[in-house]
Structure 1
Amino acid sequence: MISLEFLITSLVVVLIPGTGVIYTVSTGIVQGRKASIYAALGCTAGVIPHLMATVLGLAAVMHTSALAFQILKYVGVAYLFYVAYATWRDKSGFAVDGTMSKTSATSLVVKAFLLNILNPKLTIFFLAFLPQFVEPGIDQPLLHLLLLSAVFMAMTFAVFVGYGFVAHAFRRLVVDSAPVQSWLRYGFATAFAGLGAKLALTEK
């Protein structure tokens, strides 16, 4: 039920830096590995409302007309290319503020949760992303969507923790090196553009 393509594509999507990644990275650098785990936990929890809204909405969308599917698909394509362009142009994606003070675990989780739950881009992205990996003709598409969502969330948590650990251990390499920042930015932008092209060529 879970394809290798889904796992690879999800990994690419999760690796792309956004507000949650930046927060986890900055927390790992300034407050340590344990704090980055709390940040990753909060960011992962913040995905839940978006995933639930997507799953509940898609149950109806997937049984409507081909026109509805095409509209949904091209909204996703436009979003992916927009993010690719924004990522390519943004030169501050991994810039962090080293003045962050120590905060409690609860505060870290709550702030990370709010960062993601208040991010409307997540809902748009998952509306276009998840349906592409639901097996055609499956008896229970809703359960399949829930399973894909759970896998995506587990991957999100693991990757975010990894980001926090790496940022803490290699601050100078990840943050202070302009060439590394440029490589990451261009690599993620290319990945987004590739996903957009793939989605544009997808048929129902």
Structure 2
Amino acid sequence: MSIAFLLTTLVVCVTPGTGVVYTLAAGLSRGRRAGVVAAVGCTLAIVPHVLATVTGVAALLHASATAFQVLKYAGVVYLLHMAWAMVRDKGAIGGGRDAAPASARQVMVRAVLINLLNPKVTIFFLAFLPQFVDPARPHAVPRMLTLGGVFMLVTFVVFVAYGVLAASVRRHVTSRPRVMAWLRRGFAGSFLVMGAKLAFTAR
């Protein structure tokens, strides 16, 4: 395992994306436990993408315009749904009375779907892993799985840090209605922008 792989993985994981935004929102709205649960969900969603890359399904997805478009627009719809939920539900950010009903299972499912319904993640692994593993060499599949596991571990650690950091400032912001209103709009805007970017993503 090269230093280049670890550094690239760290940069990719630290860079804010849909998973990071959702983990921050979960940590702010529900606390540390929800932030960790969101991190777990986002990390678990990587498994299908890695397996798709290793088994060749990712290459088929990249080659099939129909399959790519179906998955892409499913992801767009879900991101728009998340944006609308942030605007509509005042308990989504702020830990108000409406925040309690969201269970750990719901946080987990939302986190998984955010990463799972994003074909860009699959295409990323399709382009990323072969740079560090020659598919023609022996034991290429186990090595790819190992690198995928390391990527997941780094993702989990980074996302937990984001979630815990968000939870640590929760008390300081949830008591300020104006701040919470702007945070809701900010998270909603982030999901909206990411949904728009995904909609215009080509294979």
| Other-structure match for 2:162 | 163
Task: State which of 99, 124, 129 in structure 1 corresponds to 2:91.
Answer: 99
> CA offsets, 1:4-36, max 9 Å, x none?
111111000011111111000011011111111
Task: Give unmatched runs, 5+ long, in structure 2.
Answer: 64-85, 93-98, 174-178, 181-185, 187-203
The TM-score, its normalising length taken from structure 1, stands at: 0.62
Q: Is the alpha carbon distance of 1:58 and 1:9 closer, same or farther for their aligned partners in structure 2, counting shifts above 3 Å?
A: farther
**Percent pairwise identity:** 48
Say if 2:50 and 2:125, in contact at 8 Å, map to a contact too: yes
Say if 1:32 and 1:168, in contact at 8 Å, map to a contact too: yes
- Summarize the alignment of residues 132-151 of structure 1 with structure 2, pairs less than 5 Å apart: 132-134=131-133, 138-151=137-150
| Other-structure match for 1:44 | 43
Say if 1:24 and 1:36, in contact at 8 Å, map to a contact too: yes
Q: Secondary structure at the match of 2:138?
A: coil
Q: 2:46, 2:103 → 1: CA distance?
A: 22
Q: Is the alpha carbon distance of 1:44 and 1:139 closer, same or farther for their aligned partners in structure 2, counting shifts above 3 Å?
A: same
Report deviation, 1:138. Answer: 3.9
Say if 1:28 and 1:164, in contact at 8 Å, map to a contact too: yes
- Summarize the alignment of residues 1-204 of structure 1 with structure 2, pairs less than 5 Å apart: 2-57=1-56, 99-100=91-92, 101-102=99-100, 103-134=102-133, 138-170=137-169
Report deviation, 1:99. Answer: 3.2
Say if 2:58 and 2:122, in contact at 8 Å, map to a contact too: no
Report deviation, 1:153. Answer: 0.6
Amino acid at match of 2:140: P
Report deviation, 1:169. Answer: 2.0
> CA offsets, 1:68-93, max 9 Å, x none?
xxx99xxxxxxxxxxxxxxxxxxxxx
Q: Is the alpha carbon distance of 1:124 and 1:155 closer, same or farther for their aligned partners in structure 2, counting shifts above 3 Å?
A: same
Task: Give unmatched runs, 5+ long, in structure 1.
Answer: 62-70, 73-95, 182-204
RMSD: 3.1
Report deviation, 1:170. Answer: 3.9
> CA offsets, 1:56-75, max 9 Å, x none?
118999xxxxxxxxx99xxx
Aligned residues: 144
The TM-score, its normalising length taken from structure 2, stands at: 0.62
